[in-house]
Amino acid sequence: MNSSNTPNDWSRHLATSTRRLRRSAVREILKAAVRPDVISFGGGLPAPECFPDALIARASARLLDAEHGGRTLQYGESEGVAELRALLAESVDRPVEEVLITSGAQQGLDLLGRALLDQGDTVLVENPTYLGALGAWRPHGVRFIPLPIDGDGMVVEPLDGLLRTERPKFLYTMPNFHNPGGAVLSLERREGLIRLAEAHGFLIVEDDPYGDLRYDGDSLPSLLSLAQARGIEDQVVRLRSFSKVVAPGLRVGWLRAAPTLVDVLVKLKQAADFHPNILGQRIILDVIRDPGFNEHLAHLRKTYRERRDAMESAVAQFFPEGTTWTTPVGGMFLMAKLPHQLNAVSCLRRALDAKVAYVTVDNFTVDDSGTDAVRLNFTNASPERIREGIERLGNLFRETANRSFQLTS
Ligand SMILES: Cc1ncc(COP(=O)(O)O)c(C=O)c1O
């Protein structure tokens, strides 16, 4: 048999961009953590018991009945279902031509990469940042420039200097309930960022899948709305998702961008999958129009606030002294930085043996920093399970810290 026909030779057929792909560490950990006896803080999973399944069931029955089934199951428009687009456009006070529905916000990130990125381009990212964005854009051979974050989100101040020498294709940010950091970009920094975008003419990609999950305080204006107030809205692409407030399995997200960019993204969407899933979009449309949806949102926020509180108090009680974190006022994650340079990566195997899963923050960085920090999801387990899992983890981290202290002293 010709050696080029052996399965092992596949790799030499791969495109250069494909070779740059990496498996998502989070998805890999999720595989290990699906067993019911594992308490998983690993994925960004909503609580399944909070899915609005009664609303979804009602919508599905209606959409698939004799009257509506023909339309629901037919091919559809690439831009998305017209009524849903119109509703979403209205929610951001923009014309419908600027809205594209995607297969989750993740597809929006992927399409943007395909539309905008060439080999050697520069992309400014928070460090750490969402690993799904890195995964989508890395194959294009781009250079990521890391921007530090603190309790008020991305540190915007040094950007002015940086932008005198760098011409980034875009800057990517999660202003609300950052993944993995949990922080919110302060109003002052939002305004500063928009002023910089105006001065330097760069594009901002604002990713906001968690914006509706706020547990304390008032919402801040989106970067899009601040840009709109200054007449530079076409410099902002805003991505949103129904994964976190309805159900991720439906795979419905959306974005708002300049109409000329939407036009390009539609062509890419046609090449990728023709159009978003019609049943999913129509279910979303019914669910968000249902009078019960606000009640569902209120219940979700209440449940997640209790879980956030349970996690924060357990981390305060059980994690080693010197652990630091920013209280997440929304979203799904608490990022804890461990003291004494504890290596969370090397503790992971033992954590899994103890039947607790987490992800380490180095997966979210572009410079491999973050091995001493963990991202903990607090939405997918009950307060009791959260407490139990954090106690187990805390014991493990404290034992490891004590052992390395004994070794070095
Ligand atoms: C910051 C961020 N952006 C985008 C996504 C993608 O979400 P989806 O494709 O489910 O809408 C996620 C998912 O966890 C996320 O955390």
Cβ distance 104 to 253 under 8 Å?
yes
Whether the link from the prior residue into 180 is cis, omega within 30° of 0, is yes
Residue 8 clears pLDDT 70, i.e. is over it? no
What is the SS3 assignment for 218?
A: coil
Q: Tell me, using a 6 A CB cutoff, whether residue 174 lines ligand 1.
A: yes
Buried b (16+ CB within 10 A) or exposed e, 31-69: eebeeeebbbbbbbbbbeebbbeebbebbbeebeeeeee
Neighbouring-strand partners of residue 144: 123
Residue ID of nearest Cα to ligand 1 atom 14: 44
Neighbouring-strand partners of residue 205: 172, 237
Mutate to test the pocket of ligand 1, among 24, 100, 130 (most ligand atoms within 8 A of CB): 130
In the block, tokens 């052992």 appear at 403
Q: Tell me, using a 6 A CB cutoff, whether residue 135 lines ligand 1.
A: no
Compute, in angstroms, the gap from residue 84 CA to the centroid of ligand 1. 20
Say if 7-51+294-408 and 53-289 have the same CATH topology. no
- Model pLDDT, residue 7: 56
Compute, in angstroms, the gap from residue 153 CA to the centroid of ligand 1. 18
Confidence at 1, pLDDT banded by 50, 70, 90: very low
- Model pLDDT, residue 2: 46
Q: What whole-number distance in Å separates Cα of residue 50 and Cα of residue 303?
A: 8
Residue 5 clears pLDDT 60, i.e. is over it? no
Q: What angle do CA 276, 222, 218 make, to 5 degrees?
A: 115
Q: What whole-number distance in Å separates Cα of residue 186 and Cα of residue 221?
A: 10
Buried b (16+ CB within 10 A) or exposed e, 122-152: ebbbbbbbbbbbbbbbbbbebebeebebeee
- Model pLDDT, residue 52: 97
Q: Tell me, using a 6 A CB cutoff, whether residue 211 lines ligand 1.
A: no
Backbone angles phi, psi at 240, to 5 degrees: -135, 170
Q: What whole-number distance in Å separates Cα of residue 2 and Cα of residue 116?
A: 40
Digit-coded pLDDT (tens) for 45-77: 999 999 999 999 999 999 999 898 889 999 999
Q: Tell me, using a 6 A CB cutoff, whether residue 106 lines ligand 1.
A: yes
Q: Flag the least confident range among 29-33, 125-129, 236-240.
A: 29-33
Per-residue tokens: 217: 């305080």
CA nearest to 279, candidates 303, 247, 240: 247
Q: Tell me, using a 6 A CB cutoff, whether residue 46 lines ligand 1.
A: no
Digit-coded pLDDT (tens) for 126-171: 999 999 999 999 999 999 999 999 999 999 989 999 999 999 999 9
- Mean of the per-residue pLDDT values for the chain? 93
Compute, in angstroms, the gap from residue 402 CA to the centroid of ligand 1. 37
- Nearest atom within ligand 1 for CA of residue 178: 1
**How is domain 7-51+294-408 classified at the architecture level of CATH?**
Alpha-Beta Complex (3.90)
Q: Where are the domains of the chain?
A: 7-51+294-408, 53-289
Cβ distance 105 to 252 under 8 Å?
no
Residue type, 249: G
Residue 16 clears pLDDT 70, i.e. is over it? yes
- Model pLDDT, residue 22: 78
- Model pLDDT, residue 19: 83
- Nearest atom within ligand 1 for CA of residue 174: 1
- Model pLDDT, residue 209: 98
Residue 386 clears pLDDT 70, i.e. is over it? yes
Share of the chain above pLDDT 90, in %: 85
Digit-coded pLDDT (tens) for 280-322: 999 999 999 999 999 999 999 999 999 999 999 999 999 999 9
What is the SS3 assignment for 332?
A: coil
Share of the chain above pLDDT 70, in %: 95
Mutate to test the pocket of ligand 1, among 110, 243, 254 (most ligand atoms within 8 A of CB): 243
Among 3.40.50.300, 1.20.1250.20, 3.40.640.10, 3.40.50.970, name the CATH number for the domain at 53-289. Answer: 3.40.640.10
Q: Tell me, using a 6 A CB cutoff, whether residue 105 lines ligand 1.
A: yes
- Model pLDDT, residue 405: 63
Whether the link from the prior residue into 148 is cis, omega within 30° of 0, is no
Average pLDDT over residues 269-275: 95
Cβ distance 334 to 323 under 8 Å?
no
Per-residue tokens: 358: 């987490």
For residue 296, the tally of other CB atoms under 10 A from its CB is 19
- pTM for this predicted structure: 0.94
CA nearest to 234, candidates 266, 206, 259, 268: 259
Which 8-state DSSP code applies to residue 203?
E
Residue 3 clears pLDDT 50, i.e. is over it? no
Q: Tell me, using a 6 A CB cutoff, whether residue 179 lines ligand 1.
A: yes
For residue 382, the tally of other CB atoms under 10 A from its CB is 15
Compute, in angstroms, the gap from residue 243 CA to the centroid of ligand 1. 8
Q: Where are the beta strands (DSSP E) in 73-202?
A: 99-102, 122-127, 143-150, 153-154, 170-173
Residue 211 or 35, more confident: 211
Q: What angle do CA 353, 357, 363 make, to 5 degrees?
A: 120
Q: Which residue blocks in 166-258 are alpha helix, DSSP H?
A: 187-200, 223-229
Digit-coded pLDDT (tens) for 315-366: 999 999 999 999 999 999 999 999 988 999 999 989 999 999 999 999 999 9
Residue ID of nearest Cα to ligand 1 atom 13: 44
- Nearest atom within ligand 1 for CA of residue 107: 9
- Model pLDDT, residue 341: 80
